[in-house]
Amino acid sequence: MISMRCIGCGAEHPIDEIIYNCERCGDLLEARIEERALMEKIENGGWRLRPLSVWKYREFLPVFNEAKIVTLSEGGTPLYRCERLGKELSIKNLYVKNEGANPTGSFKDRGMTVGVSKALELGVKAVVCASTGNTSASLAAYAAKAGLSCIVLIPAGKVALGKLAQAMMYGATVVSVRGNFDAALRMAVEASKQIGLYLLNSINPFRIEGQKTAAFEICDQLGWRAPDRVVLPVGNGGNITAYWKGFKELKALGLIEKLPKMVGVQAAGASPIADAFAANSATIEPVKNPETIATAIRIGNPVNWKRALNALKESNGTALTVTDDEIIKAQKLLARKEGIFVEPASAASIAGLKKLVENGEVELEETIVCVATGHGLKDPEVAVKACEEIIEIESPEALEKVAKP
Ligand code: F0G
């Protein structure tokens, strides 16, 4: 009834085995709940009355032992209607899904509450991940709550200060890898095999399961209808994969009528998925030395590229790149028009939408949701540098001068 299916050859694997790749062809695995069984479970509609949260949709999630659920109250994040920003971009029905409102300040908590609950169910004692920052902050918190030991591997010198502080404070063993995220991930995968640590990067199918609940919430918040378009920043490609899986599951169950177009936005210096999409290529060309101010998505060899490309194509969506300058401008615009402070990677979705509008690639009447993936306080250094200098004064007269409109 519930299994893990290979995304390449379709081979089925037992759900309670600790594996991340197909034993037949090596491709990634995804959780699959049989539709009829799920339909029976949700038929009476009682779940609809639960408050908004990841676990509102627990029937859709492959965790069986409710006593093992590790939760910090994730999900249930606001979907803001953004009229002032919408006006600026000429979009009438613009929303921002603020995932920075999750317990550790990013969407990763959706995946970790499910992934770490599964880890307890599987009886593991220690967990590991590689991270550009948010995954490590989130895993460290959930491992602490679960009483598991936790090692996080981060690219040396390239993780925003807030995220680093979180992983350290939650008590994870923080290991700095000389090299970029891609090198750190290779090490984490190796460690999971050699040392037997349970891997909680987005190649873990349970992470994707948790993250798909953001798509459920958006439809729920819009009165059980999908938006016309969802715009997401893309790094490793796990989140866009999760959203697309979520929307498709709702459609298959008849809970929504139509699917949205998915838009993936990458930073210009780290854009293998957007480049492959533009070239209409079936594979990606990894970027050797990815570089961007949006360190969260500073990834050159995304593991979920195949599923991310599939989401873009299948949804009739698109991918594009934005420069660091465009990212920072969008970060300030969102903060100053809507009072929503996001980290640079998250602002890529706003910058991407702005570009699409300028290129005439969206209908101005569309209902559009931009996903703000992480909180602005994660990266205070970039924020302070991006803003006007602080004014220093000594006298009330000087203040009067400053205060003049
Ligand atoms: N936005 C933020 C704030 C992120 O932290 C990430 C990924 C993404 C977008 C992209 O999501 O990788 O699923 O395509 N951060 C990972 C990490 C890589 O380690 O925290 P993706």
Q: How many other C-beta atoms lie within 10 A of the C-beta of residue 357? A: 17
Q: How many whole angstroms from 289 Cα to the centroid of ligand 1?
A: 17
The pair of three-digit structure tokens given for residue 402, joined into one six-digit string:
């400053």
Write the CA distances from 38 to 54, 61, 115, 326, integer angstroms. Answer: 17, 10, 20, 43
Residue whose Cα lies nearest atom 4 of ligand 1: it is 296
Q: Which sign, positive or negative, has the C-alpha torsion 100, 106, 111, 116?
A: negative
Any atom of ligand 1 within 6 Å of the Cβ of 238: yes
Measured distance CA(394)–CA(271) in Å, rounded: 48
Q: How many other C-beta atoms lie within 10 A of the C-beta of residue 84? A: 13
Specify whether the CB–CB gap between 44 and 71 falls below 8 A.
no
Write the DSSP assignment of 107-120 as a string of letters: THHHHHHHHHHHHH
The verdict on pTM exceeding 0.85 is yes
Measured distance CA(158)–CA(179) in Å, rounded: 10
Per-residue pLDDT band at 366 (split at 50, 70, 90): very high
Q: How many other C-beta atoms lie within 10 A of the C-beta of residue 12? A: 12
Any atom of ligand 1 within 6 Å of the Cβ of 264: no
pLDDT of residue 64: 86
pLDDT of residue 404: 76
Per-residue pLDDT band at 401 (split at 50, 70, 90): confident
If 0-12 CB within 10 Å is exposed, 13-18 middle and 19+ buried, where does residue 403 land? exposed
405: pLDDT strictly greater than 80: no
Q: What angle do CA 100, 93, 383 make, to 5 degrees?
A: 35
Per-residue pLDDT of 151-198, as tens digits, reads 999 999 999 999 999 999 999 999 999 999 999 999 999 999 999 999
Measured distance CA(43)–CA(351) in Å, rounded: 41
pLDDT of residue 115: 98
Per-residue pLDDT of 228-241, as tens digits, reads 999 999 999 999 99
From 312-316, 380-384, 395-399, the region with the lowest mean pLDDT: 395-399
Measured distance CA(288)–CA(331) in Å, rounded: 27
Over residues 114-121, the mean pLDDT reads 97
Q: How much is the mean pLDDT over the chain?
A: 97
pLDDT of residue 376: 98
Any atom of ligand 1 within 6 Å of the Cβ of 236: yes
Interacting residues of 385 by C-beta distance below 8 A, sequence separation 6+ = none
The pair of three-digit structure tokens given for residue 207, joined into one six-digit string:
């992470």
Q: How many whole angstroms from 180 Cα to the centroid of ligand 1?
A: 14
Q: How many other C-beta atoms lie within 10 A of the C-beta of residue 157? A: 8
Per-residue pLDDT of 38-74, as tens digits, reads 999 999 999 999 999 999 999 999 988 899 999 999 9
The pair of three-digit structure tokens given for residue 80, joined into one six-digit string:
């803001």
Measured from the CA of 131, which atom of ligand 1 is nearest?
19
Which of 98, 102, 106 is the pocket-test mutation for ligand 1 (most atoms within 8 Å of CB)?
106
The pair of three-digit structure tokens given for residue 377, joined into one six-digit string:
């306080």
Specify whether the CB–CB gap between 296 and 134 falls below 8 A.
yes
Percent of the chain with pLDDT over 70: 100
Radius of gyration of the chain, Cα coordinates, nearest whole angstrom? 21
Q: How many whole angstroms from 235 Cα to the centroid of ligand 1?
A: 6
pLDDT of residue 403: 86
Which amino acid is residue 155, in one-letter code?
Answer: P
Specify whether the CB–CB gap between 345 and 270 falls below 8 A.
no
Which of 132, 163, 322 is the pocket-test mutation for ligand 1 (most atoms within 8 Å of CB)?
132
Write the CA distances from 132 to 24, 160, 165, 167, 206, integer angstroms. Answer: 31, 8, 13, 12, 20
The pair of three-digit structure tokens given for residue 180, joined into one six-digit string:
């970029």
Per-residue pLDDT band at 1 (split at 50, 70, 90): confident
The pair of three-digit structure tokens given for residue 13, joined into one six-digit string:
């694997």
